[in-house]
Amino acid sequence: MRLLRIPSKFHCFIISYIIPVPLTLLIRFHVMSENYVAIRDPDGTLDTGFLPNKDSHCDCGMGLERLLSVMQGKSSNYDTDLFMPIFDAIQKATGARVYTGKVGKDDEDGIDMAYRVLADHARTLTIALSDGGRPDNVGRGYVLRRILRRAVRYATEKLGAKPGMFASLIDTVVELLGEAFPEVTKDPC
C-alpha cells in the first residue's frame, strides 16, 4: 500500500494499491537470424527477420518456478518439485550433506549455494544445448562456456565431486523437463 500526495488544491490524500499484473505476451514469431534489422523487399513489403512460430503460446512472464512455488506453498523456487530431484541427484553423486535451503550467512559452508548453482546451471545448459547452443570462445557460446566452468568449479571445490559428475545431472533434468519440453529429450549432436 502506498500513500500518494495529491496537489494541495485538491486538499486530500489518496491511497493507491499496487497490484502486480503479469505482462502477457502472445509468442507468435521467432527470429530468423541474429540480424534484427528490418529490410524492405523489392515488392515493398517489410522483412523484419521474424518467421511465424509453429508453436505459438502465451507467456505471462510469471515464470514456471515462481508459479510452482505459489502452487506448492513454498517460500523458495528451489524447494519445489522442479529442483528437489536435482538436489537428490547431486547428493547421491557427491555424498555431500543434504540440501537444507540455507542462504547468505546461514549457509556457512556454501554447500546449499553450490546445490543451487549446479541445479540452475544444469537446467540452463540442458535447455541451451537442446536449442542448438554450444560452448565456445566468443559470443553466446562464451556465456555457456562460463556457465559450464562455474558449475564444474562449484561441484569440485564445494561438493568434492569427481570429474564427470556434473554431466550426470543432465539425465535428471531431461527426466524432469522432457514431457513439457520434448526438445530436451533429443540428442543435441
pLDDT of residue 87: 97
The cell numbers describing 104, all together, are 547468505
pLDDT of residue 136: 93
In percent, how much of the chain has pLDDT > 90?
Answer: 48
pLDDT of residue 71: 86
Where exactly are the structural domains of the chain?
23-61, 64-185
173-to-39, 79, 159, 167, 180 alpha-carbon distances in Å:
40, 16, 19, 10, 12
Q: What is the mean pLDDT of residues 36-46?
A: 54
* 64-105 pLDDT, tens digit each: 788 888 888 888 889 999 999 999 999 999 999 999 999 999
Q: What is the mean pLDDT of residues 23-52?
A: 52
7 or 131: which leads in pLDDT: 131
